[in-house]
Amino acid sequence: MSNVNWEDYSAQGFYDELIAGPGKPRPEAAMLCDYLAKLDAAELSAHKTAAEVAIQLMGITFTVYTEGNMIDRAWPFDIVPRIIPLAEWQKTEAGLKQRVQALNMFIDDLYHDQKIIKDGIFPAEILAQSVNFRPQCVGIKTPHNVWAHICGSDLVRDQDGTLYVLEDNLRVPSGVSYMLENRNVTKRVLPELFASGLIQPVDDYTSQLYEMLSSMSPRQGEEPTIVLLTPGIYNSAYYEHAYLAQQMGVQLVEGSDLVVGDDDCVYMRMIDGLQRVDVIYRRVDDMFLDPEVFNPESTLGARGLMRAWRKGNVALANAPGAGVADDKVVYAFVPQIIKYYLDQEPLIPNVPSYLCMFEDDRNYVLDNLDKLVVKPANESGGYGMMIGPHASKKERKKFAELIKANPRNYMAQPTLALSTSPTIVGTNMEARHVDLRPFILSGENIFVTTGGLTRVALVKGSLVVNSSQGGGSKDTWIVDLAGN
């Protein structure tokens, strides 16, 4: 076993986040690559073990539903960080702010005057088909007119190095706690590199989140009572819920802890009686929030919550109904949405999308099924998708029929050549595909995390970065060589 030799590392023709060509790290990655090249195999392995021990000790876990009683598993983590130059990140940050600002204006418009539909920019029939539009939310005034207070947007980089937004998660996005914990683990494992002072810190998130939530309180001027509403320990993101509650010093509540009084205010059951709640950071899906309005069987929310929210007695983040913009067909309209509300060109491009509801697009899709990824509009989590280049003739034929039968339900995108980043596999350094999920907070101001959560497909050649399907994650460094 020998040291890492960057001459031998190959990204197989993909864009690599750290290595520009054989033996040539990108400028921002030089410090890291030199450091790693000086480690022999035993030292590298010791670093890896140190990270695993830290993760186990810190109890960083995630939940896999299929494992019965074993409800938590250690978080799969790769110690080699992914690096983005500060200058590039600043442009990305501006683009994310622009995007989320426009999306919030769009959602607010849909629940009020629907000007964008009246002006013929956004088709009414798409809204009519949306499963995430909540008629119960029409006419509600939200704090700062913001609906998606916490957004997680997935970014991917294509072969030519362009970053694209792949999707916007506006309902209850998760992963930010892992972004923070990945940094904690990396600091323990590679402390020498942090001494350089070139790596931008990430730990501001929870205080920014707390301040944003405070700013939403209906009782301004008084210290607000903020709670985080979790579906409970069997939710896959429970670790994150507990983590964020702890970091913000707020109560972690379950639906049964909350009660809505005759005064339409929300209270939580404390040992010395009831205490008024001002802001709820809810990690429970819309449909389970309030059995009075949504799913009547739900025990995860609180009866009367929507009543309290409509009256302005409690603030909810994200606002119910925000998911209307979290939809693959709406996604295709984001460039127009940005132009319509902000009169600006999008700073981060969308992945080109073809909507089968439009005849030209549909014909293009049907002619190019072997090159495209076809996605149903209203499914999430990769369900019901077809990846053209990997699909059989029979499968493509089946999708052609499906598209013709229900064109509005399908959209297609070119198959992207996702970028790679060096990852430790056994004792070698190999290229693995990555994406990036930054988190955007919108209140009075918009805040973007410094970098985000880099997810990595640990299986060779795989594009699937989900932790439940062989995905892991990395620390993400925004590096400033100018040293500002």
Partner 1 sequence: MLSRVAENIYWLARYLERAEDTARLLSVNSNLLLDLPRATKLGWSEIIAITGNDELFDELYPNRDEASVLSFICGDLRYPGSIISSLMAARENLRTARDVIPREIWEEINQLYLSVREQVESGITPRKRDVFLNRVIRSCQTVNGLIEGSLSYTQVRTFLMIGRQLERADMTTRIIDVRSANLLPRSPGELTPFENIQWMSVLKSLTGFQMYRQHVRLRIRGPDVLRFLLQDRRFPRAVGTSLERLANALQSLPRHELALNEVETCRQHLAAADIAVLASEPTRLHSFVDEIQLDFTELHDAIASTWFAKPVDATQLQSQ
Secondary structure letter of residue 203 according to DSSP:
T
Binder of partner 1 out of 100, 268, 279, 453 (CB under 8 A): 268
Q: How many residues bind partner 1 (CB under 8 A)?
A: 29
Among the listed ranges 121-129, 153-161, 245-253, 331-339, the one in contact with partner 1 (CB under 8 A) is: 245-253
Among the listed ranges 96-104, 263-271, 335-343, 394-402, the one in contact with partner 1 (CB under 8 A) is: 263-271
Beta carbon of residue 240, minimum distance to partner 1 (angstroms, whole number):
12
What whole-number distance in Å separates Cα of residue 44 and Cα of residue 49?
A: 9
11 is a site residue for partner 1 (CB under 8 A):
no
Q: Choose between 119 and 262: whose C-beta lies nearer to partner 1.
A: 262
The answer to whether 228 and 281 are in contact (CB under 8 A) is yes
Q: Choose between 276 and 310: whose C-beta lies nearer to partner 1.
A: 276
Of 472, 453, 452, 454, the residue nearest 462 (C-alpha): 472
Strand 315-317 and strand 279-282: the pairing is parallel
Can you read off the two tokens belonging to residue 434? 């990555």
254 is a site residue for partner 1 (CB under 8 A):
yes
246 is a site residue for partner 1 (CB under 8 A):
yes
CA 151 to chain centre: 7
Interaction pattern, residues 283-302, with partner 1; x per rule: CB under 8 A: --------------------
Beta carbon of residue 392, minimum distance to partner 1 (angstroms, whole number):
44
Can you read off the two tokens belonging to residue 475? 């620390």
Can you read off the two tokens belonging to residue 4? 């890492």
Interaction pattern, residues 51-70, with partner 1; x per rule: CB under 8 A: ------xxx-----------
The DSSP code sequence of 439-456 is: EEEESSSEEE-SS-EEEE
Taking CA atoms, 188 is separated from 156, 183, 311, 415, in Å, by 28, 9, 48, 38
What whole-number distance in Å separates Cα of residue 371 and Cα of residue 121?
A: 29
Interaction pattern, residues 225-244, with partner 1; x per rule: CB under 8 A: -------xx----x---x--
Strand 471-479 and strand 77-85: the pairing is parallel
Binder of partner 1 out of 102, 116, 146, 252 (CB under 8 A): 252
How many residues belong to the chain?
Answer: 484
Return residues touching partner 1 (CB under 8 A).
Answer: 57-59, 232-233, 238, 242, 245-246, 251-254, 256-257, 259, 261-263, 267-276
